[in-house]
Amino acid sequence: MNLRRLFGRQPKSSSVARERLRLVISQDRFDVDEESMRRLQAELMQVLSKHFDFHVDEVRMSLKQRGNSYVLTADFPNVNANKQA
Amino acid sequence: MGKVIVVTSGKGGVGKTTSTANLGTALALIGKTVVVIDADVGLRNLDVVMGLESRIVYTSMDVIENRCELSRALVKDKRVEGLMLLAASQKNNKDDIQPEQMKAICTELRATHDFVLVDSPAGIESGFRNAAAGAEEALVITTPDVSAIRDADRITGLLQHEGVEPINLVLNRLSPEMVRKGNMVSQSDVVGLLNLKLIGVVPEDREVIASTNRGIPLVHNKNSPGAQAYMRIAKRLTGQRIPIPELREKGFFSNILDWFSGNK
Ligand SMILES: Nc1ncnc2c1ncn2[C@@H]1O[C@H](COP(=O)(O)OP(=O)(O)OP(=O)(O)O)[C@@H](O)[C@H]1O
Ligand SMILES: [Mg+2]
């Protein structure tokens, strides 16, 4: 258990700002708007749901700049093999 | 042959006009010849920040529409030799000027002055495009807040697309105390987020408002931290190499000194 969380301490607003900016700036530069990201996420979930079970509201996607390139990360925690597959 | 530098930001209210007035004055104080151009047509402000509002007879619109020669439209600064203002028309709007016309004005002015600083309006539309049209270099102004930083990145992309180079970053209104408490992104955070070269950091300084009230640019008040920051940026613009320190909070002792000298 994280001590900070135990005492209800929130992360500093400056580090929240930094992370949010990192994300929104790389999306702006990449010219991907939130709507397209949402659509991409929906399509990915559709494909993956044919093979795996997962919790829809746990899925996280992000696009980040690393050096001069971009890294697209899709996080599907707690996947289980799909019974029907 | 002088340099034409557009002062821009994307987001409004971050200090473009304050920076143009102070850097123009600072450059003139170190002996350069300078013209500051108000490109905020319809919402001009540079004249009042510099305290020159009562002296304006002609504007850039009069030059464009051939009612007046460019040299006659320039208003001499009251306090510093070598500093001139080209005012914007209040009766027109941003679309009444074409980029080519702005470019022609800048080209003519840079032939006879060391620096031409163009105060851009907020936004990324025609007003910004006109302001940037004649510029070879840019100063992007941002404050340490999320929306200003995001817009600074956006405007940087547009400037790069136009081939403006170099683009330097001015971080305005930084409060070291808030950075220390974790309530404001730091100088190095901003530099890490934006792909720009930092040319200076201007602290949050209450003297800015007092100097605007009086129409006397801050750099005339040599003791203020904001004035010193602008003087350093001006020197860097002339090619002097002056390191950029991380801004520090005022210590207890200097606060006491300020209090006794009535600087509070
Ligand atoms: N370093 C500073 N410390 C404190 N106040 C500041 C500082 N810089 C600017 N301000 C204040 O912020 C306000 C906006 O500044 P300014 O008019 O220069 O911004 P702008 O980017 O030109 O705005 P606009 O987009 O409307 O043209 C003014 O009230 C000014 O006094
Ligand atoms: Mg302005």
Domain assignments of chain A as residue spans, ordered by start: 2-79
**Dist. CA B205–CA B89, nearest whole Å:** 30
Q: Which residues of B touch A (CB under 8 A)?
A: 145-146, 149-150, 153-154, 157, 179, 181-186, 189, 193-194
Dihedral angle at the C-alpha atoms of B12, B15, B18, B24, nearest 10 degrees? -100
What does the pLDDT look like over B37-78, one tens digit per residue?
999 999 999 999 999 999 999 999 999 999 999 999 999 999
With beta carbons under 8 A apart, name residues in chain B contacting A24. 150
How close is the Cα of B260 to the center of ligand 1, in Å? 29
In the A/B pair of chains, how many CB contacts fall below 8 A?
A: 38
How many A from CA of B110 to the centre of ligand 2?
A: 22
Could you tell me the pLDDT band of residue A23, with boundaries at 50, 70 and 90? confident
Tokens of B138: 């840019």
Domain with B247 in it: 3-260
pTM for this entry:
0.83
Model confidence at A33: pLDDT above 80: no
All residues of chain B having their beta carbon less than 8 Å from the beta carbon of residue A22 are: 193
What's the rounded mean pLDDT across residues B72-101? 95
- As a whole number, mean pLDDT of residues B191-208 equals 95
CA of B12 to the centre of ligand 2 (A): 7
Quote the number of domains for chain B: 1
Q: Is the pLDDT of residue B99 over 50?
A: yes
pLDDT for A14 equals: 94
pLDDT tens track for B206-257: 999 999 999 999 999 999 999 999 999 999 999 999 999 887 776 655 555 5
* pLDDT at position B264: 42
Q: With an 8 Å Cβ cutoff, are A20 and B154 in contact? A: no
CATH number of the domain to which B97 belongs: 3.40.50.300
pLDDT at residue B263 greater than cutoff 90:
no
Q: Do B157 and A18 touch (CB under 8 A)?
A: no
Each residue's pLDDT tens digit, A57-82: 899 888 776 766 778 889 998 888 87
